[in-house]
């Protein structure tokens, strides 16, 4: 791994043995992009990649010359209006109204390791040898603004982390209205654009289309990354698939409004960019002030989408997630939400917890409804003290009672919100985000607290810290159930109103950070009406996220499959719930509900007392299995094998680092009859190892890795109607989990 600078040619080459990223100081002093992909030979001069040509109707930079046009050059961090007419990476509005900028190379620093980003989540290294960083400083002399482009290349991962920082060294005040975290000009457009989109209850479904001339984008303007689109996209060669071919993944470590966009120009150059959504954004940069963009991560894979995902999984599990829980086995939890909703008493909760303990659950989580006057969704949000009518000894008392049962105790909060019917709102009506003189729209009868203001965050921190200090709380579910409307903060002047969406997220990160620091052993699970803020930004503070409110085992296959493109199994909160399912009213076998959820941070969301004895037996077995294999499932290499978006089957597997153990999950949506003989080709095993296969604790034979990978595991099922003695017949939403142990 290294970063080379060639003084003669002004070229930078970042490489790590697998990938290369090459840039050049162009003749006009701006930065040009030359290459990103599989590592190439280190040569003295890559000037041949700077292709300039006369083209009619273009504008040119140098007098008496008809070739140097930024419109036709691939650039690192382009601006609009100085011969390039495509969407720029930055825009700065100046006091005279001009938006023209011209950032030219001034200096650079190359060093080992990776810096943190102040106030923002970012990937990190544990030793300086893990990564190299390049800081490129460019300056607009007229504005006297410095722009630093940060690039970190990881030694063992095909990933480059990028961000940009601006510093006003002049005397004028500027408005930054666009500042992308990443911009990448690619030489052609032969890519499929893959995005992860959906809605509440069907988050991160895979959507694919061919890139076309013009702009294609996804984003959010809701104040959160959102259910609708995820701050992650891929560009994939049409011939590439899960197992081979060229793929790039782009991920933004941010939880607020974002934009991911690809612009294909008329000469088929693709400009990929990602960052804070410029729509609704501006940042006032006064003399002496700095602005730092969030970090974006780009991953290159020459071996298909699984290999790309595996880089994100390792990076986000071990170099983005932090703290006490990062490498620890996650507790099997039971959450009372779908068991009781708002209708509970302490007695009822303790009964649920006792049953959970009997079956092997380790953590009992009390969801919404435990505080203040909160017995429905209309009141109490913002008042974080226990409702002693329901919990006579408060949270302290309940947490002690739960611990006395031998369980850990977890608690739900929704810290960013207030109901109008709350002490908080009555005392501080100006603390909600709203525009003076305008109607205040609600979502679920709640209003968003103005986290751009420090005093609001401080107030909430003090309330939560008090409960956490007094009680035995091991886990927090941090929910967020509506998006921002009428965005305006009373805490800032007119020139700063464009900052509020971003400042809100900075306030959110600050609160998370303070709680992480003060209560390092508390496990945080983020949530936003299910998976409405499943993004890398929050994984820095909360290593797991409630993937979706939709707990149906069929729907979850799609949601978890889509989520797995960027996010590790350990980050996906996944629970077994009751049937008929509360979201889709569907019946699925308990076994399948468990088999899907165990490929996640596993738990239950039901009252176990309502199950039959036979079902309780299945639950006990599921918990035993999860405890035995959760480390492998969470840290193993994850492979997607069959896509629920393409057919009736879903399959995935995890393989231990030493390849001695693996677990395959195989799921069938609807039953079929008299169909083909089927085989499932496995991945990532050792060709030579003999694997003993076990299903439902029964030996089902031994096969060599080479057989399982090249011939496949036989998955022909009993759909032809025959039911071998002692076996369950195949049915809709049927599934298998097979454990492989090498001899």
Least Å from the CB of residue 433 to ligand DGJ:
20
Q: Which is nearer to ligand DGJ, 538 or 641 (CB)?
A: 538
Minimal CB distance to ligand DGJ: which residue? Answer: 368
Q: Which is nearer to ligand DGJ, 233 or 460 (CB)?
A: 460
One character per residue 473-502, x = contact with ligand DGJ (rule: CB under 6 A): ------x-x---------------------
Contact range with ligand DGJ by CB under 6 A, out of 114-122, 522-530, 606-614, 621-629: 522-530
One character per residue 212-251, x = contact with ligand DGJ (rule: CB under 6 A): ----------------------------------------
Dist. CA 116–CA 288, nearest whole Å: 21
Binding of ligand DGJ at residue 368 (CB under 6 A)? yes
Please say whether the beta carbons of 183 and 76 come within 8 A: yes
Binding of ligand DGJ at residue 527 (CB under 6 A)? yes
Helix (H) or strand (E) run with residue 403 in it: helix 394-404
Dist. CA 300–CA 620, nearest whole Å: 42
Q: Which is nearer to ligand DGJ, 34 or 528 (CB)?
A: 528
Could you confirm whether 510 is annotated as catalytic?
no
State the Cα torsion 273-275-279-284 to the nearest 10°.
-130
Q: Which is nearer to ligand DGJ, 368 or 499 (CB)?
A: 368
Least Å from the CB of residue 528 to ligand DGJ:
7
Least Å from the CB of residue 313 to ligand DGJ:
24
Question: How many Cα neighbours within 13 Å face the side chain of 580?
Answer: 4
Binding of ligand DGJ at residue 549 (CB under 6 A)? yes
Q: Which is nearer to ligand DGJ, 419 or 595 (CB)?
A: 419
Length of the chain in terms of residues written: 743
Q: Which two tokens stand for residue 43?
A: 């040569």
Q: Which is nearer to ligand DGJ, 337 or 599 (CB)?
A: 337
Dist. CA 384–CA 449, nearest whole Å: 14
**Cβ contacts of 83 within 8 Å, gap of 6 or more:** 58, 59, 60, 61, 69, 70, 71
Nearest residue to 484 (alpha-carbon basis) of 256, 702, 683? 256
Binding of ligand DGJ at residue 333 (CB under 6 A)? no
Q: 186 — phi, psi (to 5°)? A: -105, 145
Binding of ligand DGJ at residue 337 (CB under 6 A)? yes
- Out of 412, 504, 540, 703, name the contact with ligand DGJ by CB under 6 A: 412
Binding of ligand DGJ at residue 256 (CB under 6 A)? no
What is residue 49's three-state secondary structure? Answer: helix
Nearest residue to 249 (alpha-carbon basis) of 195, 324, 316? 195
Least Å from the CB of residue 95 to ligand DGJ:
46
- Residue holding tokens 């998955």? 715
> In this structure, is the dihedral angle defined by the CA atoms of residues 63, 65, 69 and 74, taken in order, positive or negative?
negative
Binding of ligand DGJ at residue 189 (CB under 6 A)? no
Contact range with ligand DGJ by CB under 6 A, out of 54-62, 282-290, 523-531, 705-713: 523-531
- Out of 181, 379, 529, 560, name the contact with ligand DGJ by CB under 6 A: 529
Binding of ligand DGJ at residue 433 (CB under 6 A)? no
End-to-end Cα distance, the chain: 36
Strand pairing of 31-38 and 572-577?
Answer: unpaired
Dist. CA 104–CA 32, nearest whole Å: 11
Q: Which is nearer to ligand DGJ, 342 or 488 (CB)?
A: 342
Number of residues in contact with ligand DGJ, rule: CB under 6 A? 11
- Give Dmax over CA atoms of the chain in angstroms: 88
Contact range with ligand DGJ by CB under 6 A, out of 525-533, 569-577, 689-697, 700-708: 525-533
Least Å from the CB of residue 367 to ligand DGJ:
5
Helix (H) or strand (E) run with residue 622 in it: helix 613-635
Binding of ligand DGJ at residue 583 (CB under 6 A)? no
Contact range with ligand DGJ by CB under 6 A, out of 100-108, 314-322, 524-532, 590-598: 524-532
Could you confirm whether 479 is annotated as catalytic?
yes
Dist. CA 141–CA 39, nearest whole Å: 35
Q: Which is nearer to ligand DGJ, 136 or 473 (CB)?
A: 473
Among 189, 549, 550, 552, which one carries the catalytic annotation? 549
Dist. CA 59–CA 69, nearest whole Å: 6
Q: Which two tokens stand for residue 647?
A: 């057919």
What is residue 306's three-state secondary structure? Answer: helix
Binding of ligand DGJ at residue 367 (CB under 6 A)? yes
Q: 432 — phi, psi (to 5°)? A: -90, 150
Binding of ligand DGJ at residue 14 (CB under 6 A)? no
Least Å from the CB of residue 733 to ligand DGJ:
22
- Out of 249, 507, 530, 644, name the contact with ligand DGJ by CB under 6 A: 530
**Cβ contacts of 255 within 8 Å, gap of 6 or more:** 224, 225, 505, 508, 509, 533, 535, 537, 538
Dist. CA 89–CA 105, nearest whole Å: 16
Please say whether the beta carbons of 197 and 209 come within 8 A: no
Q: 339 — phi, psi (to 5°)? A: -80, -35
Contact range with ligand DGJ by CB under 6 A, out of 316-324, 527-535, 585-593, 719-727: 527-535
Binding of ligand DGJ at residue 546 (CB under 6 A)? yes
Binding of ligand DGJ at residue 622 (CB under 6 A)? no
Dist. CA 123–CA 115, nearest whole Å: 9
Among 146, 383, 479, 552, which one carries the catalytic annotation? 479
Least Å from the CB of residue 309 to ligand DGJ:
25
Least Å from the CB of residue 369 to ligand DGJ:
8
Least Å from the CB of residue 479 to ligand DGJ:
5
Q: Which is nearer to ligand DGJ, 412 or 639 (CB)?
A: 412
What is residue 318's three-state secondary structure? Answer: helix
Contact range with ligand DGJ by CB under 6 A, out of 211-219, 456-464, 526-534, 624-632: 526-534
Q: Which is nearer to ligand DGJ, 76 or 479 (CB)?
A: 479
What residues make contact with ligand DGJ under the rule CB under 6 A?
A: 337, 367-368, 412, 479, 481, 527, 529-530, 546, 549
Give catalytic residue positions: 479, 549
């Amino acid at each position: 791994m290294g970063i080379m600078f060639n003084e003669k040619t002004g070229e930078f080459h970042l490489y790590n043995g697998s990938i290369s990223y090459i840039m050049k100081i162009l003749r006009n002093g701006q930065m040009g992009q030359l290459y990103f992909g599989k590592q190439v030979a280190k040569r003295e001069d890559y000037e041949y990649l700077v292709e300039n040509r006369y083209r009619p109707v273009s504008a040119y930079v140098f007098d008496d010359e008809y070739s140097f046009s930024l419109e036709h050059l691939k650039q690192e961090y382009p601006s609009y209006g100085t011969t390039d007419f495509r969407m720029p990476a930055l825009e700065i509005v100046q006091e005279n109204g001009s938006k023209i900028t011209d950032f030219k190379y001034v200096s650079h620093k190359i060093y080992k390791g990776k810096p943190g980003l102040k106030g923002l989540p970012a990937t990190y290294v544990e030793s300086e040898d893990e990564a190299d960083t390049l800081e490129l400083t460019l300056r607009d002399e007229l504005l006297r603004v410095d722009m630093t482009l940060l690039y970190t290349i990881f030694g063992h991962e095909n990933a480059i982390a990028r961000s940009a920082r601006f510093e006003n060294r002049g005397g004028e005040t500027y408005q930054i209205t666009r500042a992308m975290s990443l911009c990448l000009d690619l030489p052609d457009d032969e890519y499929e654009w893959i995005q992860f989109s959906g809605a509440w209850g069907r988050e991160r479904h895979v959507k694919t289309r061919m890139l076309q001339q013009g702009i294609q984008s996804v984003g959010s303007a809701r104040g959160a990354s959102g259910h609708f689109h995820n701050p992650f996209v891929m560009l994939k060669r049409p011939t590439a698939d899960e197992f081979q071919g060229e793929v790039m993944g782009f991920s933004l470590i941010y939880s607020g409004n974002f934009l991911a966009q690809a612009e294909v120009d008329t000469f088929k150059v693709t400009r990929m960019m990602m960052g804070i959504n410029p729509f609704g954004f501006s940042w006032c940069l006064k003399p002496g002030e700095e602005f730092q963009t969030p970090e974006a991560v780009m991953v290159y894979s020459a071996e298909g989408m699984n290999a790309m995902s595996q880089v994100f999984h390792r990076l986000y599990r071990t170099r983005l997630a932090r703290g006490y829980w990062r490498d620890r086995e996650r507790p099997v939890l039971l959450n009372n939400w779908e068991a009781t909703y708002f209708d509970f008493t302490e007695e009822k909760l303790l009964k649920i917890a006792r049953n959970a303990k009997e079956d092997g659950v380790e953590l009992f989580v009390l969801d919404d409804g435990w505080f203040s006057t909160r017995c429905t969704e209309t009141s109490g949000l913002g008042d974080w003290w226990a409702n002693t009518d329901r919990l006579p000894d408060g949270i302290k008392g309940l947490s002690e009672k739960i611990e006395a049962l031998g369980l850990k105790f977890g608690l739900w909060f929704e810290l960013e919100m207030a109901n109008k019917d709350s002490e908080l709102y009555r005392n501080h009506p100006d603390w909600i985000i709203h525009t003076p003189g305008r109607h205040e729209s609600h979502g679920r009868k709640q209003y968003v607290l103005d986290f751009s203001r420090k005093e609001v965050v401080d107030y909430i921190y003090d309330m939560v810290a008090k409960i956490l200090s007094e009680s035995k709380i091991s886990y927090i579910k941090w929910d967020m159930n509506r998006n921002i409307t009428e965005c305006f903060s009373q805490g800032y002047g007119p020139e700063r109103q464009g900052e509020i969406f971003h400042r809100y997220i900075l306030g959110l990160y600050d609160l998370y950070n303070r709680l992480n620091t003060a209560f390092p052993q508390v496990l945080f699970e983020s949530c936003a009406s299910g998976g409405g803020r499943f993004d890398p930004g929050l994984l820095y503070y909360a290593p797991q996220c409630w993937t979706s409110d939709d707990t149906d085992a069929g729907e979850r296959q799609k949601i978890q499959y889509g989520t797995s493109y960027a996010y590790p199994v350990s980050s996906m909160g996944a629970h077994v719930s009751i049937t008929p399912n509360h979201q889709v009213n569907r019946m699925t076998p308990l076994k399948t509900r468990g088999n899907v959820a165990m490929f996640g941070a596993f738990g239950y969301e039901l009252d176990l007392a309502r199950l039959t004895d036979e079902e309780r037996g299945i639950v006990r077995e599921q918990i035993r299995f999860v405890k035995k294999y959760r480390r492998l499932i969470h840290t193993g290499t994850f492979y997607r094998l069959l896509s629920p978006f393409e057919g009736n089957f879903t399959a995935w597997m995890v393989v231990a680092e030493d390849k001695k153990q693996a677990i395959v999950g195989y799921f069938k949506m609807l039953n079929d009859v008299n169909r083909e003989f089927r085989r499932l080709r496995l991945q990532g095993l050792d060709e030579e190892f003999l694997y003993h296969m076990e299903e439902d604790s029964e030996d089902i034979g031994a096969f060599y890795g080479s057989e399982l990978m090249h011939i496949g595991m036989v998955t022909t099922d009993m759909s032809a109607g025959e039911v071998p003695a002692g076996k369950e017949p195949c049915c809709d939403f049927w599934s298998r989990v097979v454990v492989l142990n090498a001899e």
